Structure 1
Amino acid sequence: VNKYLWQASLEVLNFLPIESVDPFTGVISTGYGTPPGGGRAYRATVYVQDPALDARSLRVALQTRGGGAVSAETARSIEDAILTRARQLRIRDSKL
């Protein structure tokens, strides 16, 4: 898995309690948590599917506490935040 996507996923979703992580399959599963400033509780499953630092390498599945659907816009914004943070981490490492 891509180490930057992995680390960025953990950082962006740090408000959610981690239930399981498997770096060999690239899956991070969380419990329910409420984002800062938000009122709705979510849980997430993150799939880092490829070693490339690319949007196709990342998939985030979100669920609300009541089992309700999460809008595609919300899921996309989480993926974008993870990708942005992953790029920042890679840039930081390239400057070392």
Structure 2
Amino acid sequence: MALVRGAAVALVASGLLLAGCGGLPRLGGSAPTPTAEAGIGVNGFLWRATLDTLSFMPLANADPWGGVINYDWYTNPQTPDERFKATVFILDTRLRADALNVSITKEVRGSDGQWTAAPVAAQTETDLENAILTKARQLNLSNAG
């Protein structure tokens, strides 16, 4: 029990130490660009574009400091035997293509009524990433003008 408690304390302490490192300048790097909205730790345009682009899906939870947006199961009324879930990771404060990762999970309902995992076309995730990036660029341009 003492070992578990000690490990938990060490984990919390290391997390606090790492959290405090965010204000230190990066060696050889440049200062973060002011593209992140106040109050969130990721690019604000990517964040807003993700919420806008996937607004048809029910939002499960969102972590604006960690850059993770989880969507709950969505079923298109035209294909009631398929459902999709999405998780979006925003990985940077800059508006860049590699600062975004979309992960889709798909299930299909069998004749027994049970949902089972099904493959998702790789192009689906790429298409969603491109739609979010396009929207983010539009938001950026409209903000600049």
Same fold (TM over 0.5): yes
- Tell whether 2:62 aligns with 1:12: no
Q: CA deviation at 1:41?
A: 2.2
State the match for 1:57 in structure 2: 99
The runs of at least 4 consecutive aligned structure 1 residues that moved more than 2 Å come to 37-41
Q: CA deviation at 1:34?
A: 3.6
Distance 2:120 2:143 in 1: 34
Q: What value does the CA root-mean-square deviation take over the aligned residues?
A: 1.5
Q: CA deviation at 1:38?
A: 5.9
Distance 1:38 1:94 in 2: 39
Contact 1:15 1:34 in 2 (8 A): no
State the match for 2:142 in structure 1: 92
Distance 1:86 1:20 in 2: 20
Distance 1:3 1:82 in 2: 12
How does 1:1-96 map onto structure 2 within 5 Å?
1-34=42-75, 39=79, 40-65=82-107, 66-95=116-145
TM-score (norm 1): 0.90
Q: Residues 38 and 70 of structure 1: is their aligned pair in 2 closer, same or farther, counting only changes over 3 Å?
A: farther
Number of residue pairs aligned between Structure 1 and Structure 2: 94
Distance 2:142 2:134 in 1: 12
Distance 2:92 2:66 in 1: 10
**Based on CA coordinates, which of the two structures has the bigger radius of gyration?**
2
TM-score (norm 2): 0.61
Q: CA deviation at 1:56?
A: 0.4
Distance 2:117 2:47 in 1: 25
Higher relative contact order (CA 8 A, sep 6+): 1
Q: Which SS does the other structure have where 2:118 is aligned? A: coil
